[in-house]
Structure 1
Amino acid sequence: MTSLQPVGEAVDTLKRYIAFLAPVVLVIGLLLSWVYSRMVSRPLVRLTRSATRLSELDFAGHEEIRSQDEFGELSRRMTAMSRNLEKALAELRQANAQLKRDVEEKERAERLRKELVANISHELKTPLGIVKGFAEGLQDGVAADKKERYLSLIVTETDRMNALIMDMLELSRFEVSAVKLQPEAISLTDLIRKALRSFSGKIEEKGLRLEAGTDEDWRVEADPKRIEQVLMNLLGNAIRHAAEGGALAIAVTRQSPDLVRATIENEGPPIAEPDLDRIWEQFYRAERSRDRKSGGTGLGLAIVKHILTLHGSEFGVRNTPRGVAFYFTLKEIGGDSNDEP
């Protein structure tokens, strides 16, 4: 019996050791389990949060896991996917915006086309009626002294219709942004003198006193063809509405260190204040009968507005003590050279 005593003591010792060690092992196991679960669950929670934000198209809220395990690799792939999605969506939004602009531009062009057709039909109605009436008169036979007058009126109305159609086509090109400027260094003074030479006959016919302050050579940056068109329209308008024997004044001055201002003023009846802002509209006439008698198409100032807007010009019209003045600005080249001593 004594030989089994050490074995019993060893068993008792082992039991006590196990009883002591079991809680320790359990605690350690629980701690290890908690640590491992944290190591696994935390990146999973972050990945879930990132996936939720991506599903809401919130690309700024992605949290990348910087580790070398599977979670880190998955996070890096999600980061790359987030960037690609953000880029693709940005390109898609840009494409949609461009498509919207294209559709709006197409609708605008179609609307302008319909308006052009309607305006042509309306504006050509009167001159076509006049031509038809005089042509029928010639066909029926008229006195010899009236034949020449009838033919002259037919030619006049035909020229009017041609001018109207050309102005309409020109205006339609501006309104669909089909006109591109070709700016260069030009002499505004030379363009004014050239335009005045073109109207010399009409100026003399109306007995207008020309007051042209164009002694200096004002050089500007502009499209010469388009600015000549502006001058021809404004001068033609000023001459048409100037009083017989009145004054026609043209002046170029420096408005600022890099801008020159051209002013064309006629001596004649003023424009009614409510009409001052509306005369730039197409087919708007303060006095419709006056424009028809004087040969205007009602489109010249609308074309001028488009040209000057493309040049970034400040332009307008105002009543003066003796008549009406139109003005516009252009960018000057070598402004210091024209400074007075």
Structure 2
Amino acid sequence: MNSIKKKLFLQIGSLIVLLIGLLILANTFLLKPFYIQKQKKQLLKHYDVINAIDADGYSASYDVLGDIENKSHVNIIIKDNTGVLYSTKFNFLDDTLIEPKLTPPPPKPYVIVQEKPINQQINWVWSEDERKTRFLQIVGTLDNSNRIKISMPLMAINHSIDLANQFTLIIGILLFVIGMFIAYVLSQHFTKPILDMNRTTTALKHLHFGTACQVRSKDELGQLAQSINDMSIELRDTIHSLNHSNNELQKEVKKRIKIDEKRKQLLSNVSHELKTPIALLQGYAEGLKLNVAKNHNRTDFYCDVIVDEANKMNQLVQTLLSVNQIEFGDIKIHETDFDIVDLVHYIVDKYHQHFEDHHLHVSFLPLNQPIGVHTDRLKVEQVLTNYINNAIQYVDDQKMIKIRMVDREHHVRIEVYNSCTSIPEEELDKLWDSFYKLDKARTRALGGHGLGLSIVKAIQEALGNGYGVELNPNGICFWFEVAKCTEDL
């Protein structure tokens, strides 16, 4: 039996049955002594009333005595030495002490069962006739020396007890039915908030926080329901906070894993990039040591190669340090307001001679009016320079380069296009990785170390601006954005 409703219902029913049983037992064993005790008190009260009547006033007090007999169902006999002064009209007891003035019915013999003194004048007497009918009597003398006997039949008490038990049983069954109905209603009403709280806590166990207890009262159950609702809110907020922290931790773990992978890749790439210049340095240095160069011009060539490779290695290390500083926020950003159109004009003009030397077909589409931007001028120049160098380095035989500026609502977009052979779309995201080259053999024919676009990525993410690459039918277009000023220059 797991239902609190059933337990409460049966407990209330058991309590009703127990109370009815106790009431019947009380009637059976306690009602008779209680009844006799009450009758004793009543008889003593009648004795006191009769004792207060004057000896010559019995005939005058006939109504008083008759009223006592009628109300209490007692028989009264009062005698003196001459005979009976007063007697109940219907005397059912034989009295051997006196002769009644009226002719009594035939005497009925009785037996004294018990006698117990009350005081010096009167005694309690329990007697029994031939039909086993018991009587309770006060027998003795009055203050005026007259003798008195007050008798009360006890034959009705046992019958009354049987009737009381029968009535109690009938009423008890009726009360049991009514009580069980009330118990059912009360158990429904009492257990409804408990069942509601049980459903809510079950939902909480499965981390469903959409359900809440209905607070129907301000008693202990209402306070418990409110506490469960408060606990649900606290658990929801705590779990939400834990989930958020867990997501942040997972992101951090992924970030750390990615950093470790980048470090491993960086180590592999750096070792690969440094392997060639170190081998050249070692070979030419050993040649000088062994005096392989027989003349002065050859010696100068060996030294020039060593210096050139050392410079390349130094440039590579400086570039790596720059990328590392930008990615990890170790470099300061100096944001100022300036005209982006003027800056792009300056950078394109700076490359004019370089374009002519390489016989490149360059088209530049600037904006027609000055536009103020708010960012780091040197970083923007570095990004655009890397894009232009990258375009010059990888332009194909068409030698087509296009530089365009596009005015957007909140920023200016700068695009650098160069004609080139087709590039697989799945390779685009890898272009921003350090040391990544489309040349899988990683030869030195095209120059560079594959760090230019990774520098662009680091700078734009540090500045909070967009960047990207798009494939065109005959080439590729790299773009980046610069945030506009909130006010005009």
Instruction: Tell me the alpha carbon deviations over residues 255-306 of structure 1, each in whole angstroms, 9 at most, x when there is no partner.
Output: x55554434456xx72334387364444333447897245311221233244
Match of 1:100 in 2: 250
Match of 2:215 in 1: 65
Cα 1:288–1:163 change in 2 (3 A) is farther
| Secondary structure of 2:437's aligned partner | coil
**8 Å Cα contact 1:195/1:228 also seen in 2:** yes
| Secondary structure of 1:292's aligned partner | coil
Give the Cα–Cα distance (whole angstroms) in 2 for the partners of residues 106 and 123 of structure 1.
25
Q: Relative contact order (alpha carbons < 8 A, sep ≥ 6): 1 or 2 greater? A: 1
User: What is the Cα deviation at residue 139 of structure 1?
Assistant: 2.3
Of residues 128-137 and 83-92 in structure 1, the stretch that sits farther from structure 2 once superposed is 83-92
- Does residue 231 (structure 1) correspond to residue 363 (structure 2)? The answer is no
The structure number with the bigger radius of gyration is: 2
Match of 1:312 in 2: 466
Residues 95-244 of structure 1: pairs in structure 2 closer than 5 A: 95-141=245-291, 142=293, 143-172=295-324, 184-196=336-348, 199=351, 202-203=354-355, 205-206=357-358, 212-214=364-366, 216=368, 217-241=370-394
Cα 1:257–1:82 change in 2 (3 A) is closer
Give the Cα–Cα distance (whole angstroms) in 2 for the partners of residues 22 and 247 of structure 1.
110
Instruction: Tell me the alpha carbon deviations over residues 11-52 of structure 1, each in whole angstroms, 9 at most, x when there is no partner.
Output: 69x869768755554444334433433343333333333333
Give the Cα–Cα distance (whole angstroms) in 1 for the partners of residues 220 and 246 of structure 2.
38
Match of 1:301 in 2: 453
Give the Cα–Cα distance (whole angstroms) in 2 for the partners of residues 212 and 44 of structure 1.
78
2:470 maps to a residue whose letter is G
- Does residue 43 (structure 1) correspond to residue 197 (structure 2)? The answer is no
**8 Å Cα contact 2:465/2:483 also seen in 1:** no
Query: Counting helix residues as a fraction of each chain, which structure ranks higher?
Result: 1
Cα 1:315–1:273 change in 2 (3 A) is closer
| Secondary structure of 1:226's aligned partner | helix
Aligned-pair RMSD on alpha carbons? 4.3
**8 Å Cα contact 1:53/1:62 also seen in 2:** no
**8 Å Cα contact 1:218/1:332 also seen in 2:** no
User: What is the Cα deviation at residue 120 of structure 1?
Assistant: 0.9
**8 Å Cα contact 1:250/1:264 also seen in 2:** yes
Give the Cα–Cα distance (whole angstroms) in 1 for the partners of residues 360 and 182 of structure 2.
107
1:231 maps to a residue whose letter is L
**8 Å Cα contact 1:199/1:236 also seen in 2:** no
- TM-score, normalised to structure 1, is 0.75
1:299 maps to a residue whose letter is L
Of residues 32-41 and 109-118 in structure 1, the stretch that sits farther from structure 2 once superposed is 32-41
Of 222, 230, 242, which residue of structure 2 is paired with 1:80? Answer: 230
**8 Å Cα contact 1:50/1:62 also seen in 2:** yes
Of residues 86-95 and 287-296 in structure 1, the stretch that sits farther from structure 2 once superposed is 287-296
Cα 1:176–1:111 change in 2 (3 A) is farther
Instruction: Tell me the alpha carbon deviations over residues 192-244 of structure 1, each in whole angstroms, 9 at most, x when there is no partner.
Output: 34434655664565466765555743444444232211111122233445689
Cα 1:74–1:237 change in 2 (3 A) is closer
Instruction: Tell me the alpha carbon deviations over residues 104-136 of structure 1, each in whole angstroms, 9 at most, x when there is no partner.
Output: 222222222222112111111011111222222
Give the Cα–Cα distance (whole angstroms) in 2 for the partners of residues 155 and 137 of structure 1.
15
**8 Å Cα contact 1:213/1:251 also seen in 2:** yes
1:330 maps to a residue whose letter is E
Give the Cα–Cα distance (whole angstroms) in 1 for the partners of residues 387 and 460 of structure 2.
12
Match of 2:479 in 1: 328
2:301 maps to a residue whose letter is R
**8 Å Cα contact 2:420/2:476 also seen in 1:** no
**8 Å Cα contact 1:127/1:161 also seen in 2:** yes
2:303 maps to a residue whose letter is L
Instruction: Tell me the alpha carbon deviations over residues 43-90 of structure 1, each in whole angstroms, 9 at most, x when there is no partner.
Output: 333333333333333332232332122222222222222222222222
1:328 maps to a residue whose letter is W
| Secondary structure of 2:207's aligned partner | coil
- TM-score, normalised to structure 2, is 0.55
Of 78, 90, 107, which residue of structure 1 is paired with 2:240? Answer: 90
**8 Å Cα contact 1:212/1:250 also seen in 2:** yes
Give the Cα–Cα distance (whole angstroms) in 1 for the partners of residues 234 and 250 of structure 2.
24
Instruction: Tell me the alpha carbon deviations over residues 142-201 of structure 1, each in whole angstroms, 9 at most, x when there is no partner.
Output: 221122222222222222222222333344456667778665543223333443465566
2:225 maps to a residue whose letter is S
Give the Cα–Cα distance (whole angstroms) in 1 for the partners of residues 417 and 206 of structure 2.
64
The alignment-based identity, stated in percent, is 26
Give the Cα–Cα distance (whole angstroms) in 1 for the partners of residues 381 and 247 of structure 2.
38
